Chains A and B, each alone.
Chain A
Amino acid sequence: MQTTRRAALFGAAAIVSAAMPAIAEEEDIVIGFAVAESGFMQAYDEPATQAALIRIEEINEEGGLLGRQIVPVFADTKSDRAEGARAGLEVIEAGADMVVVSCDYDFGAPAALMAEAQNKISFFLCAESVRAGIQGVGPHSFSASVLAAVQGATMAEWAHEELGATTFYVLEDTWTEYNKGICDGFNWRAPQIEGVEIVGRDTFVNDDASIAAQITRIRNLPEPPDAIMLCSMMPGVVSAVRQIRNAGIEVPILNGSGVDGSYWMDAVPSLSEFYIPVQGSVYGDDPNPAVEEFNVRFEERFGARPSSQYAYPGYVMVDLWAKAVERAGTTDAAAVVEELEKMDEEPTLFGPRTFTSELHHQNRARYHIVKVTDGEPAVVDSWTIDEPIPLEVLLQ
């Protein structure tokens, strides 16, 4: 059933994009989505894209932006880099004032570079690498999400303060930059905390058929660690968690946001002592009731609740950009970038956001901590790290 709804959404989108020149009026504001409508990245791009559409519709209902309607146009990156660049070009040629690119830095960057080359603003849907911004793409590029390192650092601080953990074991999946980013943040923050000791480290690769050897190493520690920092992502992380728990290791597992969502938790029967930092809760218990209202609206519009927190950055993105356009009084990129960079703790539905002329990403953010007990995730706390993560750490 979901299939048909999805097909309907993107089918409609495809028709819109094909017939775009006829629909987009001269005065319309165009947001171009160079995102994956098929292939591997589709599952990750779609929720954030849908959330962005919700914000666009809200703005249009409220009378539009600068009195003009926002029209989305789409081009499929097919989860391919070269296609991504072409999709970027396509939406720019369709008149995009701002280009939305794929969730992942590697897959989004080619399209973002296309936008950059024409001095257009590009927004990564949910990339969490510092390079998704000035440091990688250029001065017109932003990310709607929070740096992966912040998640690692948040886990280090929070686990020490709230769980009283002092000994940590770090298990790093070297498959992607995102995973390494989580560990970088953890490795930066944890040693600064007094009394914290990292008692061991190991690596694996996401598609390893088994991580038995890594688990054996944990079990052979003289003392079990107070917590395991697991820097990994879908799909391999599920396997890793299952194997860890099946091996009888019951210590708390700390994670990045990539594991958010209850859809996979069946794989690890009665999963407990499992912690996830999230920008907002999809579980109906967000401290801010407006978030739950959004979840409901999302379900009404697309037939299912957001499956993880990665839908939210799409909403934040349109929200922030629209505010900047409103303040600048124009969609002109230079003016909008200037307004975006003025944002300091700008409130959004999912926490305050800050951009500076140095960093178009969040190196500090409020996270809700989700704890999974017996397979049931629930928000137990909120946490903002003491200090923003310095740029040098992010760039190392």
Chain B
Amino acid sequence: MTAVLQILFDALSLGSLYALGALGIALIFGVMRLVNFAHGDYISFSIFALLWPTTAATTILFLGQVPPAVLIPFVILIGAGVSVLSEILVFRRLRDANPATLMIASFALGFVIKNLLLMLYSSRPKSLSILPGLAQQVEIGGARIPLLQVVTVAATIVILIALTAFLKRTRFGLEMRAAAQDFTMARMLGVRANRVILLAFAISGMLAGAIGLAIVVQTGTADINMGLSVMLVAFIATVIGGLGSLYGAVVAGFLIGGASVLMQVILPLDARPFRDAFVYALVIVVLLWRPQGLFAPRTAKQRV
């Protein structure tokens, strides 16, 4: 029983990262059909902003030493900032471009951000221990669970609730949900496109910052590629969750996290290195079963 509980928490904490990532990608995809490959680099960028640029091995904190009450909003704002900036400087100028062009532009942008960080900080991982108080255990139902996992899961739930409230209760939220489903129709009802898109980028960037924090608290390191693997999984979660469905993206994020942990648990040792192959094969199977995704909106059309 305690083992099951532990596995459940493992799955939930990994799934949390994927779910937040998927949400960030789904928000942008929803409003402008952009598969934003720069998202992973927003994650790294928001964390590296805490560090003083140096290629030396030692980490020089730039803003990392400030109390969490300042640090957390700072990282989240940086994420939002870089995301909004990329919309204004790049994506706004590509409104009429097709999805392939948009995607490659986002890749190019991510490439620029990554190489910029590489030049300023080198590829050596930077250690930074923020929120060290989380390195403890708590007992839940007889199982000893790392506090960090509990906090990650709890923070994810809080973020999801806050975002749901925003989307359900506010005018902006309503417009964003409508825009995610059918952007053109929303505009024909007077929804201002640029504002909604900008807002989507801002929230997406904030989520990137939050993921960055979750990763850095978990790993204690900032690494140029820290956002990459989360972003790839999140991207897949967005699609198998059902395009245009934010809810589907979140559920799919948790499902992939769960599948990954489950594979790690049940696969025999010799097969464990092939874990990702099984997970991705499962993705293909799901897509064949439900090409529109698990939770495709009821009026979803194939638009890409």
Contact = CB atoms under 8 A, between A and B. Distances in A.
Direct contact of A and B (CB under 8 A): yes
Interface of A: 1-3, 6, 38-44, 79, 174, 201-205, 207-210, 212-217, 219-220, 234-235, 238-239, 242-243, 245-248, 261, 263-269, 304, 307-308
Contact of A265 (B10, B127, B215, B228): B127
Interface string B37-66: 000000000000000011111110000000
Given A39-B123, A209-B229, 6 more contacts: A3-B53, A205-B275, A235-B219, A238-B221, A239-B220, A307-B58
B6 A216 contact: yes
Contacts of A207: 225, 228-229
Contacts of B219: 235, 238-239, 242-243, 267
Given A2-B56, A261-B57, A268-B129, A43 B122 contact: yes
A62 to B, nearest CB: 30
Given A3-B54, A267-B129, A308-B57, A212 B220 contact: no
Nearest to A308: B57
A245 B269 CA distance: 23
Interface string B111-131: 000000011101111011100
Nearest to A268: B220
Interface string B193-223: 0000000000000000000000100111101
7 contacts: A43-B122, A203-B269, A213-B7, A213-B261, A216-B10, A264-B221, A307-B56
Contacts of B261: 212-213
Contacts of B148: 246
A268 B46 CA distance: 21
A322 B256 CA distance: 55
B144 interface: yes
Contact of B118 (A40, A201, A304): A40
Contact of B13 (A1, A212, A217, A265): A212
Contacts of B125: 234-235, 238, 264
A246 B146 contact: yes
A209 B230 contact: yes
A2 B55 contact: yes
Interface string B250-261: 000000000001
Contact of B137 (A202, A248, A269, A308): A248
Interface residues of B, number: 57
Contacts, number: 152
A216 B220 CA distance: 20
A45 to B, nearest CB: 10
Contacts of B127: 238, 263-267
Q: Max chain B CB contacts within 10 Å: which of A214, A235, A304?
A: A235
B10 A269 contact: no
A102 B118 CA distance: 18
B83 interface: no
Contacts of B56: 2, 304, 307
B273 interface: yes
Nearest to B229: A207
Contacts of B264: 204, 213-214
A42 to B, nearest CB: 6
A42 B123 contact: yes
A210 B55 contact: no
Contact of A43 (B17, B123, B144, B146): B123
A301 B292 CA distance: 61
B132 interface: yes
B91 interface: no
Contacts of B122: 42-43
Given A38-B118, A307-B58, A208 B7 contact: no
A216 B128 contact: no
B229 A40 contact: no
B229 A269 contact: no
A308 B272 CA distance: 32
B135 interface: yes
B10 A263 contact: no
A217 B136 CA distance: 18
B223 A209 contact: no
Given A38-B119, A209-B229, A267 B221 contact: yes
A269 B14 contact: no
B3 interface: yes
Contact of B55 (A3, A216, A217, A247): A3
